[in-house]
């Protein structure tokens, strides 16, 4: 009899009963939650160790299931990519031929952008007129994409001054010595950038201000200014740069630019949708001060883009400004 009882304890029925009672847990071997070590001898314990769950879960050598599914994933992803590529290539032959005048994309939409663009938006550059007037809501969305991307990078990388936990302390020490591996006060770099940076800034400002007159605009001009800031930072270091560009400047500039964009466009949308007169003069096409809100919006977009580029660079390098 006793043998049968032994078997019963290991049988499925018993396990099921125990599981119902809550004593037995079929997944207990696969439990991922490990109690953090609290022996106190190691003073470099991560302050968030209580939250961090054992690394074994992501380690291919210990987690066999992950290893196996890793192989399956790789094979399947290659197969999937090949299938996608062949389907898309096969479909291309059924699409309209490239560059034909009677293609569906050459319709009244682009015709009006080209023929009436100057008259309706005041911008000689059709592309600017299209993205900042006809479809300004999309472009506002795009600037918000940039804004929220900086927010996410800040969440991930920003180190706060008053955060004194050991992990961030270590990271801050690393960031203070970040110029160990990079040229420090490199004379060639400094001489070149003294010549180059003013031109970069002026050229960027030119592209932004002429966005409605010639190819260019906020996105490209902002990128040029951002590149200039980064070059200056690389050659002269944080101390010099922070004389004119700190986190405060960054916050104020991007905040003012986005709020201006938001309010200006809200006004324009509101008047447009309610068929009111907007009282924004379009000016003479071709002049710098023309094309209504487009110039203002270009300046806003340009500042946001320049700040975003610079912020990405310093956040990735140092986690701070």
Question: By C-beta, is 232 or 321 nearer to another protein?
Answer: 321
Which region, judged by CB under 8 A, interacts with another protein, from 157-165, 170-178, 204-212, 306-314? 157-165
The contact mask relative to another protein for 94-123 (x = CB under 8 A, - = no) is xxx------xxxxxxxx-xx------x---
CB 289 within 8 A of CB 119: no
In the range 266-285, which residues lie near another protein by CB under 8 A? Answer: 266, 268-274, 278
Question: By C-beta, is 79 or 194 nearer to another protein?
Answer: 79
List the end-to-end C-alpha distance of the chain, in Å, as a whole number.
Answer: 76
CB 171 within 8 A of CB 161: no
Q: What's the closest the beta carbon of residue 4 comes to another protein, in angstroms?
A: 29
Q: What's the closest the beta carbon of residue 55 comes to another protein, in angstroms?
A: 7
- Judged by CB under 8 A, the residue of 4, 13, 89, 145 near another protein is 145
Question: How far out from the chain centre does Cα 271 lie?
Answer: 32
Q: What's the closest the beta carbon of residue 102 comes to another protein, in angstroms?
A: 11
Asked if residue 140 binds another protein (CB under 8 A), the reply is yes
d(CA 316, CA 286): 41
Distances (CA, A) of 208 to 83, 211, 288: 44, 5, 11
In the range 23-82, which residues lie near another protein by CB under 8 A? Answer: 25-28, 30-33, 48, 51-53, 55, 58
> Which residues are within 8 A (CB) of 171 and not within 5 positions of it... i.e. 6 or more apart?
159, 319
Which stretches of 11-50 are DSSP H helices? 12-21
Please spell the DSSP secondary structure of 207-267, one letter per residue. Answer: HHHTTTTSS--HHHHHHHHHHHHHHHHHHHHHHHHTTT--HHHHHHHHHHHHHHHHHHHHH
Question: By C-beta, is 124 or 133 nearer to another protein?
Answer: 133
Q: What's the closest the beta carbon of residue 263 comes to another protein, in angstroms?
A: 8
Question: By C-beta, is 228 or 319 nearer to another protein?
Answer: 319
Question: By C-beta, is 68 or 191 nearer to another protein?
Answer: 68
d(CA 309, CA 226): 5
Question: By C-beta, is 1 or 119 nearer to another protein?
Answer: 119
d(CA 16, CA 10): 10
- Judged by CB under 8 A, the residue of 82, 202, 259, 288 near another protein is 259
DSSP state of 133: I
Question: By C-beta, is 1 or 90 nearer to another protein?
Answer: 90
Which helix (H) or strand (E) is 37 found in, with range?
A: none
The contact mask relative to another protein for 203-242 (x = CB under 8 A, - = no) is ----------------------------------------
Q: What's the closest the beta carbon of residue 168 comes to another protein, in angstroms?
A: 8
d(CA 311, CA 105): 38
- Judged by CB under 8 A, the residue of 1, 65, 72, 155 near another protein is 155
CB 207 within 8 A of CB 216: yes
Q: What's the closest the beta carbon of residue 43 comes to another protein, in angstroms?
A: 20
- Judged by CB under 8 A, the residue of 152, 180, 187, 188 near another protein is 152
Instruction: Say what angle helices 187-209 and 294-317 make with each other, to 10 degrees.
Output: 150
């Amino acid at each position: 009899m006793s043998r049968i009882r032994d078997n019963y304890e290991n049988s499925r029925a018993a396990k099921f009963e125990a599981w119902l009672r809550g004593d037995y847990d079929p997944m207990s071997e696969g439990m991922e939650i490990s109690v953090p070590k609290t022996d106190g001898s190691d003073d470099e314990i991560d302050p968030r160790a209580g939250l961090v769950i054992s690394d074994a879960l992501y380690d291919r050598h210990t987690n066999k299931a992950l290893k196996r599914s890793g192989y399956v994933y790789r094979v399947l992803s290659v197969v999937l990519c090949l299938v996608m590529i062949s389907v898309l290539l096969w479909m291309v032959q059924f699409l309209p031929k490239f560059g034909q005048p009677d293609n569906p994309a050459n319709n009244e939409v682009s015709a009006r952008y080209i023929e009436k663009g100057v008259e309706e938006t005041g911008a000689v550059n059709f592309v600017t007129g299209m993205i900042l007037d006809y479809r300004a809501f999309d472009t506002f969305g795009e600037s918000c994409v940039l804004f929220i991307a900086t927010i996410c990078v800040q969440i991930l990388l920003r180190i706060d001054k008053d955060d004194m936990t050991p992990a961030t302390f270590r990271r801050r020490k690393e960031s203070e010595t970040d110029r160990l591996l990079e040229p420090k006060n490199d004379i060639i770099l400094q001489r070149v950038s003294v010549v180059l940076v003013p031109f970069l800034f002026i050229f960027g400002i030119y592209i932004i201000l002429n966005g409605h007159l010639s190819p260019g605009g906020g996105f490209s001009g902002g990128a040029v200014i951002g590149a200039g800031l980064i070059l200056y930072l690389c050659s002269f270091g944080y101390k010099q740069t922070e004389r004119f560009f700190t986190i405060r400047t960054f916050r104020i500039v991007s905040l003012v630019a986005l709020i201006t964009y938001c309010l200006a466009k809200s006004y324009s949308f509101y008047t447009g949708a309610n068929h009111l007169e907007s009282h924004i003069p379009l000016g003479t096409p071709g002049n710098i001060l023309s094309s209504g809100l487009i110039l203002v919006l270009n300046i806003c977009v340009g500042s946001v883009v320049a700040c975003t580029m610079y912020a990405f660079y310093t956040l990735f390098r140092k986690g701070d400004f």
